[in-house]
Chain A
Amino acid sequence: MEKLKNVKWNHYLNYIVVAAVTVIFAILSLTGVIESSDKYLLEKVAIAITLAVSLSMVVGFLGELSLGHAGFMCIGAYLGGKTAVILEPVIGEWPALIVSLLVGGIVAAVFGMIIGLPALRLRGDYLAIVTLAFGEIVRSVFMNSSKESFGGSLGLDTPRFNKDILFVIAFVMVLATLAVTQNLIRSKHGRAITAIRDNEIAARATGIDVTKYKLLVFTVSSFFAGIAGVLYSYSNFTVQSTKFSYNYSIEILVMVVLGGMGSINGAIIAATLITFLDVELQTILTGNLAVLQDLIYALILIVLVIYNNAPALKNFREKYNLKAFINKFRPHVPSKHKDDEAKWDRVPTKIKMDEVLSVDFQATSPYTPDKPGKEEK
């Protein structure tokens, strides 16, 4: 019993929640309560979570802005889909699924490593441009492929999989992504990665191998983006390159920013919300209004960045936030794990978005003292 109390429950909370959701929906689908459209939605949610968690590694923990995450997913979707098409008649459904997941993930990881190389020299906007260009290049390569190879502009027809099981597999992949990401971040290697984010010069002077860790993060992150791509190819009848456009990369970025950069749990929640929002908007905004959908994501991103960074909103932010709201209803309990204090799931990231996006948020001098009377408390 004592041992149970010492387990850091909030480290495992997200596994438990995701696993519970999976089990509940698996039972529901066996009893036939949920419809196939709901299963499709669940697959979408799982794919979005995988993408958001893997991108949050690059953006939230390494502190680099990558706008090409959909590109890695695209590689995974096409190569995994093609592998499945070729292998399924030969070795059967399940082995083909496993092999294509591996192929899609590994090829995406190799490309992630290649993209990681310029990331060692470029920072901020410039890296964003390179990754953005990469995503577009990948997309247009598949778009212009021949009909026999990857289907070209018509898209690649992908094999079907039992809908009752596919979303369970997708959620198992979410758990795998969570396990790898969190275990990596909560180790000495994760500490080195966050050190690079916090102060690269100091990290170098402390002997951290910056090259190795940047490549590692890009590789692992794109591996899981590739996995998400393969799941996408299984979840849809065809893989079409138009899906993996720049807008989709931004959508993933919105999930990460909305969840709070450096927060994995936040990324999970935000990915779920955005996916639901996506589906809802698609039914509401039809016809010419469909363009508004991308506009809404852009607005969310702008509002969030301003809300999190604007100095004028500082007091507002401190007074009205979720944490303060929750603490109001909860008696203060001193932490049992004072010694470690490794609250990894709540790494307080104050990545300055103005640095990342080279926007000047501070119109006035940053040394302007706050309103008088605030400090005396």
Chain B
Amino acid sequence: MSKIVLKTENLGISFGGLKAVQNLNVEIKEGQLYGLVGPNGAGKTTVFNMITGVYKPTTGKFWLDGEDLTGKGQETINHKGIARTFQNIRLFNNMTVIRNVMVGLHNQPEFSCGVIASVLRLPKHFKTERAMRDRAKEILDIVGLLDERNNLSCNLPYGKQRKLEIARALATNPKLLCLDEPAAGMNPHETEDLMKIVRRIRDEYNITILLIEHDMKFVSGLCDEITVLNFGTSLVQGPPEVALNDPEVIKAYIGG
């Protein structure tokens, strides 16, 4: 049995009287591709915001590799190993593609270089910069953006911007990678390409992936297990082919 990477227990948050998410219990095993689906406003992104530290959960707890991270700050949670992408793209627009990824590498212990060393231009600074650039190129190669590395990130087409967000998150060397609607706004060809990339990240780098997606073909073709959310509560959990055919889920999506 593989070990559990992320575990949530009764995780919930309410904004005033609105219970955005309630009693969410999820167990994600190492190397799994886990999907989080549900109609609009079901609370999927809120779950992401809780486990990445943007919101502090009002009830329940969550653990990463058995370590309780409930209520920790965003930076701390990122250092512990949860990286994310955003539904509405948030890149560093005035930087080139490669530098976006290099920001992601900032906190990796092998690229540490103090402020003083940088200001005094000690050899360590140059060594670190070179190593960071090489590593960033490797990561860009994974998502297929190596040729775009010197362009400004704001000049990339939408699909590539999404891939760059994944690359930047990947650069922080996460245990769990959270992708918020990675295929939104992509054409079928790009979506297929993205599926290959996500699978490759999981298989080659052994990173567990949690993703939100509306494209059901994407979800059923990729995920090992999914949770369907509706009105902040989990409806069904299980393999996609079982969960998506559940009468409750069909009712939630189509109404009735």
Interface residues of A (CB under 8 A from B): 179-180, 183-184, 187-189, 191-192, 194-195, 197-199, 201-210, 216, 338-342, 347-350
Contact = CB atoms under 8 A, between A and B. Distances in A.
A210 B75 contact: yes
B92 A199 contact: yes
A324 to B, nearest CB: 18
Contact of B107 (A191, A205, A207, A348): A207
B1 interface: no
Given A191-B95, A207-B172, 12 more contacts: A184-B118, A188-B118, A188-B129, A197-B94, A199-B90, A199-B92, A199-B93, A202-B90, A203-B92, A207-B75, A207-B106, A347-B94
Interface string B107-132: 10001010100111100010011001
Interface stretch (B25-33, B97-105, B225-233): B97-105
A173 to B, nearest CB: 16
B234 interface: no
Q: Which 10 A-B pairs have the closest CB atoms?
A: A187-B118, A207-B78, A202-B90, A198-B92, A341-B150, A204-B74, A195-B103, A207-B107, A183-B119, A199-B90
Contacts of A203: 92, 103
A191 B102 contact: yes
A194 B106 CA distance: 13
A63 B103 CA distance: 17
A350 B103 CA distance: 19
Most buried by A among B75, B84, B86, B93: B75
Contact of B103 (A187, A206, A210, A341): A206
Nearest to A340: B133
A342 B99 CA distance: 9
Contact of B118 (A189, A194, A347): A189
22 contacts: A179-B119, A187-B115, A188-B118, A189-B115, A194-B92, A194-B94, A195-B103, A198-B94, A199-B93, A202-B92, A205-B74, A205-B78, A206-B83, A206-B103, A206-B106, A206-B168, A206-B172, A207-B172, A209-B75, A340-B133, A341-B150, A350-B94
Contacts of B22: none
Given A188-B111, A192-B103, A180 B119 contact: yes
B84 A205 contact: yes
A192 B75 CA distance: 13
A55 B128 CA distance: 28
Given A191-B102, A202-B86, A207-B107, A183 B118 contact: yes
Nearest to B132: A188
Nearest to A183: B119
Size category, B interface: 35 or more
A338 B171 CA distance: 22
Given A188-B102, A208-B75, A195 B95 contact: yes
Most buried by A among B92, B107, B172: B92
A323 to B, nearest CB: 16
Contacts of B129: 187-188
Most buried by B among A179, A199, A210: A199
Contacts of B133: 339-340
Nearest to B105: A188
Interface in B168-212: 168-169, 171-172
Interface string B141-175: 00000000110100000000000000011011000
A216 B114 CA distance: 12
B70 interface: no
A208 B96 contact: no
A20 B137 CA distance: 39
B96 A341 contact: yes
A206 B174 CA distance: 10
B78 A206 contact: yes
Nearest to B99: A191
Contacts of A209: 75
A342 B107 CA distance: 20
Most buried by B among A204, A206, A347: A206
Contacts of A347: 94
A216 B133 CA distance: 24
Contacts of A341: 96, 98, 149-150
A195 B75 contact: no
A205 B115 contact: no
Nearest to B103: A195
B8 interface: no
A349 B94 contact: yes
A179 B118 CA distance: 11
A190 to B, nearest CB: 8
B79 interface: yes
B165 to A, nearest CB: 8
Contact of A207 (B79, B119, B125, B149): B79
A265 to B, nearest CB: 17
A202 B79 CA distance: 14
B243 to A, nearest CB: 29
B113 A199 contact: no
Contacts of B91: 198-199, 202
Nearest to B154: A350
A203 B26 CA distance: 27
B96 to A, nearest CB: 5
Contact of A201 (B79, B90, B96, B132): B90
A205 B76 CA distance: 9
A188 B83 CA distance: 20
A180 B115 CA distance: 10
B119 A187 contact: yes
Contacts of B94: 194, 197-198, 347-350
B159 to A, nearest CB: 18
A3 to B, nearest CB: 15
